[in-house]
Amino acid sequence: MSDTKISALPTASATLDSDVLPIVQESGSTLATRRASLAQLRKGLFADRPAHVRDFGAIGNGLVDDGPAIQAAIDALKVSGGGILQFGARVYRIASPIVMNGVTVTLQGSGFTEGPNEANGTWFKIDQTGFTPFTFSGSMARGSIVRDIAVRQYHPLPSATWAPTDYDYVFRVQDCLGAVDFENILLVSVNRGIWCDNSGRMSIKRLRGQVFTRGVEIDRCYDICRLEHVHFWTFQTSDLDVLAWQQKNQDALVFRKVDGVFLDDIFVLGARSTLRFSSSASGVTTKFYGSNIYADFSKYGVWIDGNGVEGRIANITTQGEVIGAGAPIPLAGAAGIQIDSNNVRLQIGNLRVDVAESNAIRVNGSNNRLDIFALRAERFNRLNDGSTAIHLANVITGAPNKVFLGSPALLGNGNDGPLINASTNGFVASAAPAGRADRPGAMVGAEDTGLFQPSTGALALSAGGTERMRFAEGNISMGGAPGAHAFAVATPASNVNQLTVTGSIADGTPSIAATGADTNIPPALSAKNIAPIRLNSRGNIALEVNAVATPVNFVRINGAGGTAPPQVTAQGAGTNVALLLLGKGTGAVQAGSPLQLPAYTVATLPAAATYPRCVIYVSDGATNKRLAMSDGTSWRWPDGAVVA
């Protein structure tokens, strides 16, 4: 090397990794001047520091394919044990696949300016189809991160027949068996965003953009994954043809076999479905948790078409109208909650559904159960055809569908559409715990008044902490708990006849009547054991019916028609049963009207032995001989002579 001063040397042109520079190194106790390439110096100076894609040939001008350079950087990180790969504030065109396999890497961008086109920050430009831009695969890719990067794709100009270019997912996470995270990502005019399969614990935070077919799709996630602060909006275009395609085809977030997913602060504008819980060969989603969901201009806020999906949502608002229509016009078939499968279990804390063509909630399939604490349905039944706020399919085979409401539904501007369709064996109800007399399960007015369930098959009513009425197995008791009640009604098995109590209008008469399937039904009023039956009037006994022994004979009172007289007759098991009228003590039996005797002729006298001590009238007797009395042997005139 000459002794020329450095300042006197000519300026170097663009440096290469192979360029040689002098360095002074220690050599034992002395110093020695040696040569080193630029690549050697960089490796020493930047050991354990983030790599940068420009060091591997990335241009970032939006024209050259930077895929090979990015892949070279990742391959280098793989050799050195992984690390951070930095991207400058440039537009990197990706026209070939980039694979992270066997390496944990962080793709670290420089942020981005939100907007419809590439601007400040780090942008990935994708303008070719037929490949996956970024793939994370294998267990060694677990822990990888994509952060602070925007993605832009290109599609045909809007038209009435517009459809997006069929790009593959921008990011595929495949068979990592663990987490790959995405944070602060912008997807602009992207057909499909993020695919995750057989890779649990994935976390997505601050995902924004405008997607056309899928935002995120997850399958075979066997550990909890998280999606937070997702915002899909018209970042790239508000063209009505594009948005119409989205509302017919875009499923923003799709979950197939997912064992638990946390969803928080999700906003989607212009989609077929905001949340779709579907299925794959591996199964369906269970135990999902949503906190705050807003499905704006979405045909379905939640669409479930996988059998056995199970989960819960704290708060969700859906709005199912056509974008750009001016007045709220519902999307064809729009519903806030749409279930097209069986055995679903969905719990929702607060649900508001705005603008549904027919039903705010539509449940097809069988054995589905929805628990909704607070439901508000606005502007449903827009066809004004009597559609209900909640439609439950009538189940022919299988268990009926059920909806439980924690509070009365708030229905508004639904053209008087009812809550639930009548042509279904499903039901909408409000359930309550069993409770007890002093703390009923369903309280009314006070905590010690309402309905409770004292035992299986029984329902009771309490007031002031004391049971007042119970319904159990065909029996009704009133006035207190059974055994302390004042009135009871018993209904036998296979009951066809009833007792009906009917009130009356003013000046009318209330009635108690036997009714039922039989032609003639006598009501029976029974006292307990040997006690009599009493009818009171003016506060005292007016009539008492008693039996001196186990009755086999009884009294019948017959009414009569026309001029015929009513009858008091003896009835019973005996062939001949007398009728006995008794006064009390020395009281006589009195007649308030003339007493009419039976009339006979001398020729037609009955047997005297049959009627001892009885008096009859003989119509053809001689003068002063009209009355006759039996002495048990013969009939005799008042003078003692035998009637002849």
Name the percent of the chain lying above pLDDT 90.
72
Name the percent of the chain lying above pLDDT 70.
98
Query: What is the spatial distance between Cα 95 and Cα 50, in angstroms, rounded to a whole number?
Result: 24
pLDDT above 80: residue 217: yes
274 CB-side CA count, 13 A? 33
Work out the burial of residue 381: count CB atoms within 10 Å of its CB; fewer than 13 is exposed, 13-18 middle, 19 or more buried. buried
Query: What is the spatial distance between Cα 368 and Cα 307, in angstroms, rounded to a whole number?
Result: 9
pLDDT bracket for residue 2 (50, 70, 90): low
Lowest mean pLDDT segment, chosen from 92-106, 197-211, 368-382, 456-470:
456-470
Phi, psi (rounded to 5 degrees) for 631: -100, 10
Nearest by Cα to 137 from 106, 99, 107: 99
3-state SS, residue 76: helix
* Average confidence score pLDDT of the chain: 93
Nearest by Cα to 207 from 199, 216, 218: 216
One-letter amino acid of 166 = D
Query: What is the spatial distance between Cα 70 and Cα 92, in angstroms, rounded to a whole number?
Result: 10
Give pLDDT, residue 232: 98
Domain ranges of the chain: 50-238, 433-491, 599-636
pLDDT above 70: residue 48: no
Structure confidence by residue, pLDDT tens digits, 113-147: 999 999 999 999 999 999 999 999 999 999 999 99
3-state SS, residue 163: coil
Lowest mean pLDDT segment, chosen from 8-12, 415-419, 562-566:
8-12
pLDDT bracket for residue 365 (50, 70, 90): very high
Query: What is the spatial distance between Cα 472 and Cα 116, in angstroms, rounded to a whole number?
Result: 68
pLDDT above 60: residue 637: yes
pLDDT above 60: residue 1: no
> 50-238, what's its fold?
Pectate Lyase C-like (2.160.20)
Segment 90-115 mean pLDDT? 97
Give CA torsion, residues 587, 589, 591, 597, to 10 deg. -150
Query: What is the spatial distance between Cα 23 and Cα 512, in angstroms, rounded to a whole number?
Result: 118
pLDDT above 70: residue 46: no
Query: What is the spatial distance between Cα 403 and Cα 396, in angstroms, rounded to a whole number?
Result: 18
Structure confidence by residue, pLDDT tens digits, 539-554: 899 888 888 888 889 8
Q: Are 307 and 278 in contact (CB under 8 A)?
A: no
Query: What is the spatial distance between Cα 389 and Cα 387, in angstroms, rounded to a whole number?
Result: 7
pLDDT above 80: residue 256: yes
Give pLDDT, residue 34: 85
Segment 405-412 mean pLDDT? 95
3-state SS, residue 596: coil
Nearest by Cα to 405 from 427, 366, 374: 374
Give pLDDT, residue 21: 81
User: What is the token pair recorded at 133?
Assistant: 């831009």
Structure confidence by residue, pLDDT tens digits, 138-175: 999 999 999 999 999 999 999 999 999 999 999 999 99
Segment 411-428 mean pLDDT? 96
Give pLDDT, residue 440: 94
